[in-house]
Amino acid sequence: MFRARNHVVEKEYESVAGKVATDAEGRYRSGKMHCAEAVLWAVKQEFAPRLEDRVVHLAAGFGAGSGSGCICGAVCGGTMAFGLVLEDDRKGASALTRELHRWFKSEYGATCCKVLSANGKSGCLALTANVAGRVAQLLLEKK
């Protein structure tokens, strides 16, 4: 019974994370949003739908490594999403941000947009989706 229940919870997490990843990918692909906006929007839609969509405008300056090529915009969007969803839990948001950075570095080798996009931005679509999905997983695990 315990295994079956964990399996059910795991499937639910995968389903929610997959939906968030797909939503972020769609927004990025449409050209209406860059990576940071797409991640923040998709997470907001799933975890804080009561908030106005305009909160996503907070991420406007974080695309393409905050315009300077430094930290990946998708990671910035995910970090903002933690704060948005966890509201008054600053320690929780910080802990999840550290975990997101650890995961991202292990997956992609760096968090620097210049490094990640050295050969073009062709990988940004998948990266945006993967970050959004991982943020969703981390939020679900936090519950």
Q: What is the pLDDT of residues 95-116, one digit of tens each?
A: 999 999 999 999 999 988 888 8
At 4-44, the pLDDT tens digits run: 445 445 666 689 999 999 999 999 999 999 999 999 999 99
| Packing angle of the helix pair 35-47, 73-86 (nearest 10 deg) | 20
Sign of the torsion angle spanned by Cα atoms 84, 86, 87, 92: negative
Contact 58, 80 (CB under 8 A): yes
Q: Is 45 exposed, middle or buried (0-12, 13-18, 19+ CB in 10 A)?
A: middle
- Please give the model's pTM, rounded to 2 decimal places: 0.89
Residue 92 has pLDDT above 80, yes or no: yes
Sign of the torsion angle spanned by Cα atoms 61, 80, 128, 105: positive
Contact 137, 17 (CB under 8 A): yes
DSSP secondary structure code for residue 55 in this structure: G
Residue positions counted in the chain? 143
Q: Structural domain boundaries of the chain? A: 2-142
pLDDT of residue 135: 97
- Tokens representing 88 are 């008054």
Q: Which of 17, 39, 8 is nearest to 134 (CA)?
A: 17
